[in-house]
């Protein structure tokens, strides 16, 4: 059974008293069965950056676990202008358990 998310992106949970807030962005419906195991991509501004290593892209709003991972997601020649990669696994990045993009080990 699918349930609609609230406007602030929170999945209502019966065993959690309000406010039950998740720091990840969601759009649309999420299945109850897959919500826990599904990796969800973290996006700013709803994701709160933690520590000195995390960074986020102001253009595509993705969150990265390190500056190196952020640099990998920018593609193109400097002389022609760089842009955000559309397919991050193709540039050597993967989602971690917190929804951040990190360099593949």
- Euclidean distance between CA atoms 98 and 79, whole angstroms: 34
Tell me the pLDDT tens digit for each residue of 50-105.
Answer: 888 999 999 999 999 999 999 999 999 999 999 999 999 999 999 999 999 999 98
| Residue 79 DSSP SS3 | coil
Tokens in use for 31? 């299945």
Identify the residue whose tokens are 């993705």: 62
The pLDDT assigned to 56 comes to 95
- Euclidean distance between CA atoms 21 and 12, whole angstroms: 9
The pLDDT assigned to 105 comes to 81
The pLDDT assigned to 46 comes to 87
Helix segments in the chain, DSSP class H: 32-35, 67-73
Average pLDDT over residues 8-29: 47
Tokens in use for 89? 């696994």
What is the pTM assigned to this prediction? 0.60
Average pLDDT over residues 10-30: 46
- Closest to 26 measured CA to CA, from 17, 14, 12: 12
């Amino acid at each position: 059974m699918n349930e609609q998310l609230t406007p602030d992106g929170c999945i209502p949970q019966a065993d959690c008293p309000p406010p039950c807030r998740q720091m990840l962005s969601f759009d649309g419906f999420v299945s109850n069965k897959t919500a826990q195991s599904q990796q969800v991509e973290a996006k700013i501004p709803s994701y709160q950056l933690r520590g000195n290593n995390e960074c986020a892209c102001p253009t595509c709003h993705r969150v990265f676990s390190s500056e190196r991972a952020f640099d990998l997601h920018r593609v193109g020649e400097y002389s022609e202008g760089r842009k955000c990669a559309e397919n991050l696994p193709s540039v050597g990045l993967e989602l971690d358990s917190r929804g951040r993009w990190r360099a593949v080990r």
